[in-house]
Amino acid sequence: MPESASTVAPKVDALYFYLIGVTLFFVFLIAGILIFFVIKYRRRSPFEIPRPIAGSHKLETIWSVIPFIIAMSIFAWGAQVYFEQVRPAANTNEIYVVGKQWMWKLQHTTGQREINELHIPVGRKVKLIMTSEDVIHSFYIPAFRIKTDVLPGRYTISWFEATKTGTYHLFCAEYCGMNHSGMIGSIIVMEPTEFDNWLSGNANQQAPAVAGKQLYQSLGCVSCHGANGEGGRGPTLVGLFGRKVFLQSGQTLTADESYVRESIENPQAELVTGFGPIMPTFQGQLTPEQLIQIMAYIKSLQVTNPPGTTPATGPSPAVNPGASSAASPTQNTR
């Protein structure tokens, strides 16, 4: 077994050993009964005719119900571990990951970039927001028991919390061309104070949100989607991330990385109620890293209460248009 160094690793291992245990139990049970029956019911004389058997409902019920219960226990346990692994907790350190033939490009939200190496603190939750520049890759850290496909044109999420300091292998686990086997790296788990030192020692790089803000202005996004609602031709983007969005088609969805990318590259696909199909596409004009920067900038646009106003007790109308969305389209924000 590879080393176990994340909070989810013992859970994955326990499920794995349960599967091995169930398998071994039935291998020996079936083989044992087989051998026993071969001996017990062997033909004793050349003229022996076996006694006819009409079947047994009791036996059939037992050998159907018990395997059903075992199969469902594997399903329930597997689903529980799976959901824990795909649903990142709140308050995570976010890391942007871009896979390309044949390297891993990683960036911390504070701006530090790394290639084929990721420094992270022990005992803190780390969320990976991953995309690919070319073909499908797969981000695999055996010691953490995480493996998630990294896809072009989509964002996949994974998270982990390391439990031990040290250096661990990072692999690409999806055949991606000639140097697939060389698409490897290391995960360096440090003590939190050591990590903070490392992070501040590499602080000369621009944070993705800052780079995103510059892109946002240079591309002219701001003329329609002003951060404070100016422009007005497009929905304001303040507080957008993680919020429900109401679409022209009557659908509702939650604004996540994939939604923001879709809205930039194919703006007519998911029109927000109250807004016309006027936004041009930016398909092919942004690299995956620039998209991530814009996304980081949009994420940083959080709702703040202007001084002097009382903080809203519930979601404010501008944040959550709710059922009144059709009646007041100007409140719709994207």
Site residues for ligand CUA per CB under 6 A? 99, 102, 137, 172, 174-176, 180, 183
Q: Kindly provide the residue ranges of all beta strands, DSSP E only, lying in 101-251, ordered along the sequence.
A: 103-108, 113-115, 117-121, 125-132, 137-141, 146-150, 156-161, 166-172, 185-190, 244-246
B/e letters for 163-188, b = 16+ CB within 10 Å, e = fewer, are: bebeebebbbbbebeeebeebbbebb
Specify the residue for token string 């501040």.
Answer: 200
In whole angstroms, give the CA distance from residue 181 to residue 105: 16
Q: Rounded to the nearest 10 degrees, what angle do helices 288-300 and 208-218 cross at? A: 100
Would you say 133 and 287 are in contact if contact means Cβ atoms under 8 Å apart? yes
User: Which residues contact residue 59 at a Cβ distance below 8 angstroms, ignoring those fewer than 6 apart?
Assistant: none
Picking from 124, 163, 142, 332, the residue whose alpha carbon sits closest to that of residue 244 is: 332
Nearer CB in complex with ligand CUA: 141/183: 183
Residue 185 bridge partners (DSSP): 170
142, two tokens: 């055996």
94, two tokens: 């976010």
Picking from 192, 254, 210, the residue whose alpha carbon sits closest to that of residue 109 is: 210
Nearer CB in complex with ligand CUA: 17/175: 175
β-strands 103-108, 93-100 pairing: antiparallel
Within the chain, where are the H helices? 9-40, 57-86, 192-201, 208-218, 257-265, 288-300
307, two tokens: 């001084």
Nearer CB in complex with ligand CUA: 94/174: 174
Would you say 187 and 121 are in contact if contact means Cβ atoms under 8 Å apart? no
